[in-house]
Chain A
Amino acid sequence: MCLGIPGQIVAITDEGRLLAMAEVSGVRREVNVACVAEGALEALVGQWALIHVGFAMSLIDEDEAAKTLEALRDLGEAQETLEQMAAGAAALEERA
């Protein structure tokens, strides 16, 4: 559960809260970019990041992203993360 998963930042969604839309293995998920936002937020769009529990933790290059994603798929971690993202989305809609 301590492994990040590579995702590509595709848009800034909430400048005030430092949120961006990232695409992780074909799935879109809003992530926090505070840890990688050194300059203008817009400069992040198109970049790859290691994303851990909804936070972009480190910028990586595209090649590293592809290799890491493949390794995570081998370990079954990529699938697990995507399931957890789906569970997170469902939890917001759940009613007690």
Chain B
Amino acid sequence: MKFASEFRDPKAAKALLVEIARVADEIGATREKPVHIMEVCGGHTHSIFRYGLDKLVHEGIEFIHGPGCPVCVLPRSRVDECIEIAERPGVIFTTFGDAMRVPGSKRSLLQSKADGADIRMVYSPLDALELARRNPEREVVFFGLGFETTTPSTALAIQQAAREGLTNFSIFCNHITVPEPIKALLDDPHMCLDGFIGPGHVSMVIGIHPYDFIARDYGKPLVVAGFEPTDLLQSVLMVLSQIAQGRAEVENQYARVVPEHGNRVSLAAIADVYERRPSFEWRGLGEIDASGLRIRPTYAAFDAEEKFGIGYATGQREVEEAEGCACGAVMTGRVKPVQCPQFGKGCTPEMPLGALMVSSEGACAAYWQYGGARAAAE
């Protein structure tokens, strides 16, 4: 094991692993009857695989990889709609690089770009704003994608565009929220989760109270965590300790970055620009109540869905996954990535079929990158 060289503080990590094993034994967790802990955030999934935490912890602990990778839960229909917008005359379509290779029902944005659409990878919605200023004769659309960490950036960009009176800038809003899919998972009768590791940087924006219902109404512990390996181990221990003591609370392991009530300016910008959609579609999970945001009518001039009459604005929605793709079952923890018939065959990071293989935060790509050999041995 490359333990010592991989961890900045191997001594602390070892002590945590010993303590985790002690509490896991105390509550009777075994390989056959494990404690199921879901790490909601794709960044945590990546970190768990990178450091092999799932193999280092007591065998009675099983990580279930949650839906916290916005690229992975983006339905094919939304990618199709991006392409439809991007191919309109005069449009410059801007997007985070992560979204370029997500398969739509026929093509990805990358393929559409190769076919001639003006699609540009940007780092920030600020880049899209600047493009709109520099190209007043073009319509600049930004693909607004991501959880609450990212939502303030597009909200602030829209507010800025409104202040400047830009008329050629709009956002195709696909922002989603973390608490609602957790509720959907907890309401699923097939789901057997015992506790949660909550996202760090999302919580830096929203604080820790939006998760209160998980402890209060469902009796499950949730610990907001940083994404260094010792943060994650410490959080696993905090979840286990709650279970051992019969508690269910929301705790904050990452208080050095996550304020209890979140970021005031971010939350105000989100509330000013966005409102909840009645429901939003998640790849593999279907429509989830109140889980997506849309632009308020006050800012309709910056809403690409309204401007182009596309997506939820048309009222017509169709959903289906690629044939043989098990992304949905993987995302709900029913199937491991390697059990998908397409894993490593019809679906690889170079030629992804399902979205979980696209981003380094997707469970399948993480398995592929860090667990190829070990997965084959399982």
Footprint of B on A, CB under 8 Å? 1-4, 17, 29-32, 34-37, 50, 52-55, 57-58, 60, 64, 67-68, 70-71, 74-77, 80-81, 83-85, 87-89, 91-92, 94, 96
- The segment out of B24-32, B142-150, B290-298, B311-319 that lies at the interface is B142-150
A91-B94 CB under 8 A given contacts A57-B205, A64-B257: yes
Q: Which 5 pairs of residues, A with B, have the shortest CB-CB distance?
A: A54-B124, A88-B123, A91-B120, A88-B127, A84-B123
Task: Decide if A91 touches B150 in the complex (CB within 8 Å).
Answer: no
Choice from B121, B146, B256 contacting A60 with Cβ under 8 Å: B256
A74-B50 CB under 8 A given contacts A2-B42, A3-B201: yes
Alpha-carbon distance between A2 and B43 when the two chains are bound, in angstroms: 7
Task: Decide if B122 touches A71 in the complex (CB within 8 Å).
Answer: no
A96-B47 CB under 8 A given contacts A53-B150, A60-B256, A71-B227: no
- The segment out of B54-62, B186-194, B261-269 that lies at the interface is B261-269
Alpha-carbon distance between A37 and B257 when the two chains are bound, in angstroms: 16
B348 at the interface (CB under 8 A from A): no
Name the residue in A17, A87, A91, A96 with the highest tally of chain B Cβ atoms < 10 Å from its Cβ: A91
Return A20 CB to nearest CB of chain B, in Å: 12
A-chain residues with CB within 8 Å of residue B42 when the two chains form the complex: 1-2
Footprint of A on B, CB under 8 Å? 8, 41-43, 46-47, 50, 68-71, 92, 94, 96-98, 118, 120-127, 130-131, 134, 138, 146-147, 149-150, 152-153, 156, 160, 199, 201-202, 204-205, 227-228, 256-257, 263, 265-266, 269, 359-361
Task: Decide if A85 touches B98 in the complex (CB within 8 Å).
Answer: no
A-chain residues with CB within 8 Å of residue B124 when the two chains form the complex: 53-55, 88
A-chain residues with CB within 8 Å of residue B361 when the two chains form the complex: 1-2
Alpha-carbon distance between A83 and B360 when the two chains are bound, in angstroms: 15
Choice from A57, A75, A92 contacting B204 with Cβ under 8 Å: A57
A35-B152 CB under 8 A given contacts A1-B361, A2-B42, A50-B204: yes
Task: Decide if A32 touches B68 in the complex (CB within 8 Å).
Answer: no
Task: Decide if A30 touches B71 in the complex (CB within 8 Å).
Answer: no
Closest residue to B41 on the A side, CB-wise? A2
Alpha-carbon distance between A82 and B59 when the two chains are bound, in angstroms: 38
Task: Decide if A55 touches B153 in the complex (CB within 8 Å).
Answer: yes
Task: Decide if B126 touches A4 in the complex (CB within 8 Å).
Answer: no
A58-B199 CB under 8 A given contacts A3-B43, A52-B153, A91-B122: no
13 contacts between A and B (CB under 8 A): A2-B42, A2-B147, A3-B201, A3-B227, A34-B156, A52-B149, A57-B149, A57-B201, A71-B228, A74-B50, A80-B97, A80-B360, A91-B94
Choice from A4, A58, A88 contacting B122 with Cβ under 8 Å: A88
Choice from A1, A75, A87, A94 contacting B359 with Cβ under 8 Å: A1
Return A75 CB to nearest CB of chain B, in Å: 6
Task: Decide if B146 touches A1 in the complex (CB within 8 Å).
Answer: yes
Return B56 CB to nearest CB of chain A, in Å: 15
Task: Decide if B43 touches A50 in the complex (CB within 8 Å).
Answer: no
Task: Decide if A54 touches B127 in the complex (CB within 8 Å).
Answer: yes
Closest residue to B124 on the A side, CB-wise? A54
A-chain residues with CB within 8 Å of residue B153 when the two chains form the complex: 32, 52-55
Return B256 CB to nearest CB of chain A, in Å: 6
B-chain residues with CB within 8 Å of residue A55 when the two chains form the complex: 124, 126, 152-153, 156
A-chain residues with CB within 8 Å of residue B150 when the two chains form the complex: 1-2, 52-53
B-chain residues with CB within 8 Å of residue A77 when the two chains form the complex: 43, 46, 360
Task: Decide if A87 touches B97 in the complex (CB within 8 Å).
Answer: yes
